Amino acid sequence: MTSNELTTHIFEKGSYLCVGLDTDIHKVPSHIFNESSDPVFSFNKAIIDATKDLCVAYKINTAFYESAGLRGWESLQRTVEYIPSTHFKIADAKRGDIGNTSSQYAKAFFETYPFDAITVAPYMGRDSVAPFMQYPGKWVILLALTSNEGSHDFQLQPFANNEFLYEKVIMEAQTWDGPGGLMFVVGATRTEQIAHIRKLAPEHFFLVPGVGFQGGNLREISRQGLTTQGGLLVNVSRAIIYASSQKNFAEEARIIAQQYQIEMSEYLKEVKSN
Amino acid sequence: MTSNELTTHIFEKGSYLCVGLDTDIHKVPSHIFNESSDPVFSFNKAIIDATKDLCVAYKINTAFYESAGLRGWESLQRTVEYIPSTHFKIADAKRGDIGNTSSQYAKAFFETYPFDAITVAPYMGRDSVAPFMQYPGKWVILLALTSNEGSHDFQLQPFANNEFLYEKVIMEAQTWDGPGGLMFVVGATRTEQIAHIRKLAPEHFFLVPGVGFQGGNLREISRQGLTTQGGLLVNVSRAIIYASSQKNFAEEARIIAQQYQIEMSEYLKEVKSN
């Protein structure tokens, strides 16, 4: 998916919501197990059907599928193939290795499975990221500033020129690829930094996880991070997909997703009118 | 596997060789495709049979299996289950995410698949690594200084106190776990730094990739990195597994592995006699 296509979807739908399919089999409502031989896929399918007009992207957290072995990869494959082609499909896989190995990961997520984007860890530097950048229309979403406590251990440590590691990652990576193929992960618990990070990378999309369960503030994130091209994908996982553990889980998921979409459409109007 | 067991295997075998099963289906000798419905596993099985008395560990580079989708994960599962329990089994997977996601990766590699260790990227800090450390007898192998060109982008950049990022990772991570559950990845092309890194982490094992194809110097690495407990696992992948592309590939792999083992047994004797 191109940057222009993503921008068009965002403004047409009034939404930059990404629904995170971090589907834990232990949280799938019990009735689904009686109805399906692949309860994780059946759960995801119901969530996708209930939310697809309200969101522009889905993010599949691969760990939740890998932990189930082959059965999990089958559920992942069915899920990514079920997501409509109008939606931006993110493999939240946090990969990254030396060149010939990253090429194999790129093949896995961009050829074997039809994802549009993959999250990548920056620690090994440019040549570990480059193989993912060689696919036209596919995206790297590079970890910059994450929402967890451990972000203080390295990301928020200052380099010799008083620049934090995450700032160096953002500045360095912009010499690797333009805003049509590279996004950054910016945790939503870092609301106070989003305006600053937007200055560092004025044109790149940010994938913002941590809204909902982790307590990020959607209003602040949006006012500081939105651009005239959209510029944000805000991911919500647990608050939507586990809105209810009953038979009505998909309807409840839709209600929560719609609350986000309505709020997002207001912030998008502010951007348009500025 | 405990640290003492690993040390015992190393000195009994006179070897700290780890054979890297980075098995690319395009490099599997053609005759195997006529004989097996799972050529990657059949290739690995032949390599394991030919080398197991010469090495103490096998490292499976998950990317090479993931790129083939379900079929690849089947080959990975057969391979890890075929490796004898006397051998240290490394998932070279470079995972790492927020806590509840890293827990799922730990489940994948330590419960669903019977690995002893997994390589982990440090960028997200302590709470992204901790879930892997909660399994007794299992190991985290944390990326510290890698052998690729991109290591200069961040790992070899100086922090405010003139400490390189990779040094900070090594010092910080030693506050997270002891030498019985934590190793570091130290690239073999960094021979000049290994004596220095050994001073930073005198008791931890180092996993050293890059010997062989990438040109690391085994003598220098060993003299600077070996300890009385062993302290090194030196990984060789392509130089062994692709020693020949003919029917005799396993015999040729054994010949190369034996050259490494003979050289290693000499360096281990030097450690013993010091």
- HSE-up of B114 (CA within 13 Å, CB side)? 12
Task: Look at residues B143, B153, B149 and name the one whose alpha carbon lies nearest to residue B93.
Answer: B143
**Cβ-Cβ contacts under 8 Å, A158 against chain B:** 159-160
Q: Which residue has the tokens 């038979």?
A: A247
Q: Which residue has the tokens 């590279």?
A: A182
Task: Look at residues B208, B235, B255, B227 and name the one whose alpha carbon lies nearest to residue B7.
Answer: B227
**Cβ-Cβ contacts under 8 Å, A149 against chain B:** 125-127
What's the CATH number where A131 sits?
Answer: 3.20.20.70
Domain carrying residue B102: 3-273
Question: Which pLDDT score is estimated for A63?
Answer: 98
A148 close to B125: Cβ distance less than 8 angstroms: yes
d(CA B65, CA B25): 9
**Cβ-Cβ contacts under 8 Å, B108 against chain A:** 63, 66-67, 69
CA distance A129 to chain B (A): 9
d(CA A144, CA A183): 10
pTM of the model: 0.96
B254 close to B50: Cβ distance less than 8 angstroms: yes
| A158 to B160: CB separation less than 8 angstroms, yes or no | yes
**Cβ-Cβ contacts under 8 Å, A151 against chain B:** 124-125
| A70 to B74: CB separation less than 8 angstroms, yes or no | yes
Show the beta-strand stretches assigned E in A127-269: 139-145, 182-186, 206-208, 232-236
Task: Name the band, by pLDDT with cuts 50, 70 and 90, for residue A207.
Answer: very high
| A101 to B22: CB separation less than 8 angstroms, yes or no | yes
A21 close to A72: Cβ distance less than 8 angstroms: no
Taking residue B134's Cβ as centre, other Cβ atoms within 10 Å add up to 11
CA distance A135 to chain B (A): 15
Question: Which pLDDT score is estimated for B88?
Answer: 98
| B157 to A162: CB separation less than 8 angstroms, yes or no | no
Alpha-carbon torsion, ordered B249, B255, B260, B266, to 10 deg: 170
DSSP class of B101: H
> Which residues does residue B186 pair with via DSSP β-bridges, in sequence order?
B145
Identify the three-state secondary structure at position A95.
strand
Q: Is A233 exposed, middle or buried, given 0-12, 13-18 or 19+ CB atoms closer than 10 A?
A: buried
List the pLDDT tens digit at each of the 274 positions of chain B. Answer: 999 999 999 999 999 999 999 999 999 999 999 999 999 999 999 999 999 999 999 999 999 999 999 999 999 999 999 999 999 999 999 999 999 999 999 999 999 999 999 999 999 999 999 999 999 999 999 999 998 999 999 999 998 888 999 999 999 999 999 999 999 999 977 778 899 999 999 999 999 997 876 666 899 999 999 999 999 999 999 999 999 999 999 999 999 999 999 999 999 999 988 7
Task: Look at residues A126, A164, A171 and name the one whose alpha carbon lies nearest to residue B159.
Answer: A164
- CA distances (Å), B53 to each of B41, B57, B256, B261, in order? 19, 10, 13, 10
Task: Look at residues A22, A73, A84, A80 and name the one whose alpha carbon lies nearest to residue A51.
Answer: A84
CA distance B65 to chain A (A): 8
Identify the three-state secondary structure at position B205.
strand
d(CA B5, CA A110): 41
A133 close to A181: Cβ distance less than 8 angstroms: yes
Task: Look at residues B60, B16, B14, B7 and name the one whose alpha carbon lies nearest to residue B179.
Answer: B7
pLDDT tens by residue, A215-268: 668 999 999 999 999 999 999 999 999 999 999 999 999 999 999 999 999 999
| A101 to B153: CB separation less than 8 angstroms, yes or no | no
d(CA B34, CA B179): 46
Element (H, E) at B33: helix B30-35
Question: Which pLDDT score is estimated for A188?
Answer: 76
Task: Look at residues A154, A211, A247, A202 and name the one whose alpha carbon lies nearest to residue B129.
Answer: A154
Mode of pairing for the β-strands spanning A88-95 and B57-61: unpaired
d(CA A182, CA A117): 9
Which residues in A90-100 are b (16+ Cβ under 10 Å) and which e? bbbbbbbbbbe
Alpha-carbon Rg for chain A, nearest whole angstrom, is 18
| A150 to B124: CB separation less than 8 angstroms, yes or no | yes
Closest residue, chain A, to B60 (C-alpha): A101
pLDDT tens by residue, A108-154: 999 999 999 999 999 999 999 999 999 999 999 999 999 899 999 99
B261 close to B61: Cβ distance less than 8 angstroms: no
User: Does the pLDDT at position A189 exceed 80?
Assistant: no
Question: Which has more confidence, A25 or B210?
Answer: A25
Task: State the amino acid at position B102 in one-letter form.
Answer: S
d(CA A179, CA B29): 42
pLDDT tens by residue, A52-92: 999 999 999 999 999 999 999 999 999 999 999 999 999 99
Ramachandran angles phi, psi of B141, nearest 5°:
-115, 100
A234 close to A264: Cβ distance less than 8 angstroms: yes
Show the beta-strand stretches assigned E in chain A: 17-21, 57-61, 88-95, 117-120, 139-145, 182-186, 206-208, 232-236
- CA distances (Å), A252 to each of A210, A239, A257, A259, B21, in order? 20, 10, 9, 11, 47
What the block records as the tokens of B41 is 């596993």
Q: Which of A94, A122, A165 sits opposite B95 (nearest CB)?
A: A94
Per the structure, how many domains does chain B have?
Answer: 1
d(CA B148, CA B68): 25
